Amino acid sequence: MYNIETILLIISSLMFISIFFSKLSSITNIPSFLIFLTIGMIAGREGPGGINFNNYQVAQWLGIIALSFILFSGGLDTKFSKIKNVAISGILLSVFGVIITTVIVTFFCYYLLKIDFKISFLIGAIISSTDASAVFMSLKSKQYKLKQSVEALLELESGSNDPTAVFLTISAITIIITNEINIYSFLLDFFRQMLLGLFIGYGLGKLSQKFINKIKLDYDGIYPVITFALVFFTYSISDVLKGNGFLSVYICGIILGNSNIVHKNSLVRFHDGLSWIMQVTMYVLLGLIVTPSEILNIALYGVVVSFVLILIARPASVHLVLFLSKFKFKEQALISWVGLRGAVPIVLAIFPTIYNISDSSFVFNIVFFVVLTSTLIQGSTIYFVADKLNLLEQEEKKKFFPIELSDKFDSDSELIEIVVPDKSIIINKQIIDLDLPENTLIVLINRNEKYVIPKGDTTILQGDVLLVLTGKENFLKVKEIISEKQKTTA
């Protein structure tokens, strides 16, 4: 038995090692969460670390907590302006895409691998959804990005399809335990969970916005504590009321992320960092509970299920659901390929063990094998495939300024960064000669990574990044003036 000091030393050491080796991700294109899983396996019972961790209940609890914070952070970063054009496609994919994937995987497991039908259904349900943490980490880890509409759909889908997979998994376990199938009861329960989860998340998001803005705390450091507690409260109250806690947390995050709240920038940064901690902790922990030798014993089953999922079930579900959408075939192909499986399937694979399902070990090992395969094959080739399909966009590097506008919710001012484009009419003009709207001030200029304090006679150059303070009503006008091109003479 380890004492508390030893446990803390082990946890902190594993986190330091994970963060250090995560740098390999940018060099090798191997997703960082696979590195975290590998570190956990190396530290586990059959690795050099020899840590014998087999408490599945604790792993499940920590997995649920971590996923809640990851989804909340993902919601904070999800902008309505980005997802509004793909919302319908994303919702359809989150529900029907998961169901179609489950059906296809169940069919192949039962008829091709001769696995018991109920266990086949359980395997299909567990691996049916893409993983939010895997997708968010992969899409945020590069200097370039996927086409905006494709990336928006993938983020929305991965953040909102977990509830469907959780429901199907619990349904499969219920069928195995009770040996009864009641389609009407399952459908009623599904829609109740989804609707309650949606309304609870939306309601708590709106209430939290008003509460955060009205409370006016003397100590700014307490605001992150409010949102920290909000994640726990949102998940638990939704679960108690028979709603879907994961959906509630994600929706609550979206509402707050698209609202004007005090200290919004610092809260977003706080939850970004917390989400990273949760991801490292979760993946290392899940790696600890795995027995690698058992994974090898089911390798043949794992290869077949992975092949079916990656090359048949996922593409079929995407193309069927998005057949009438605005997404072109090559965009659908990329969406199919970015069907990453990660922590969610592994956490769900723990459920059968907790419910004492007879083939729980078999199910867990197959799921873990599929996650490793999906991560290694799909995760490491996302940007290669996107490049071949001509669906990559260059990520615009964000300039960092040493000042920030205090994000008071009732402020009528906006602090914005604008890059002076090629052939702009303001190039080579002095600031005093710019026809900017009233109450507009160029606060600072980032020129070749050096800061220039602007004066009236400061000349604007191409490529300057202007930090502009202006009224919210002037935002579009300022951008329009700076972006206007010089007229060419014949």
| Domains defined along the chain, listed by start | 4-394 (1.20.1530.20), 413-483 (3.30.70.1450)
pTM (2 decimals)?
0.79
Task: Write down the pLDDT at residue 10.
Answer: 74
Structural contact between residues 309 and 112, judged by C-beta atoms closer than 8 angstroms = no
Residues 6 or more apart whose CB falls under 8 angstroms from that of 327 comprise: 89, 149, 150, 153, 335
Q: Is the pLDDT of residue 406 over 90?
A: no
Cβ atoms within 10 Å of 225's Cβ, excluding its own: 12
What per-residue confidence (pLDDT) applies to 26?
61
Instruction: Select, from the ranges 348-352, 415-419, 432-436, the one with the highest average predicted confidence (pLDDT).
Output: 348-352
Question: Which of 217-221, 249-253, 397-401, 466-470 has the weakest average pLDDT?
Answer: 397-401
Instruction: Identify the pLDDT of residue 145.
Output: 75
Mean pLDDT of the chain: 84
User: Residue 112 pLDDT > 90, yes or no?
Assistant: yes
**Stronger pLDDT, 195 or 80, i.e. the higher one:** 195
pLDDT at 490: 46
Rounded to an integer, what is the distance from CA 32 to the centroid of its chain? 14
- Mean pLDDT within 216-231: 89
Q: What is the pLDDT of residue 457?
A: 85
Mean pLDDT, to the nearest integer, of 76-98?
Answer: 88
**Position 144 confidence tier, pLDDT thresholds 50, 70, 90:** low
- What is the predicted pLDDT for the residue at 25? 63
d(CA 124, CA 341): 12
Assess whether pLDDT exceeds 70 at residue 41: yes
Give tens-digit pLDDT for 245-300.
Answer: 989 999 999 999 888 888 887 888 899 888 888 878 878 888 888 888 888 889 99
In the predicted structure, residue 442 carries a pLDDT above the cut 80: yes
Q: Write down the pLDDT at residue 132.
A: 73
Is a pLDDT exceeding 50 seen at residue 409? no
The residue-averaged pLDDT of 49-68 equals 84
Tokens of 430: 């002095």
User: For residues 278 and 69, is the Cβ–Cβ distance under 8 A?
Assistant: yes
Q: Are 246 and 254 in contact (CB under 8 A)?
A: no
Q: Which residue has the higher pLDDT, 116 or 139?
A: 116
User: Is the pLDDT reported for residue 350 higher than 70?
Assistant: yes
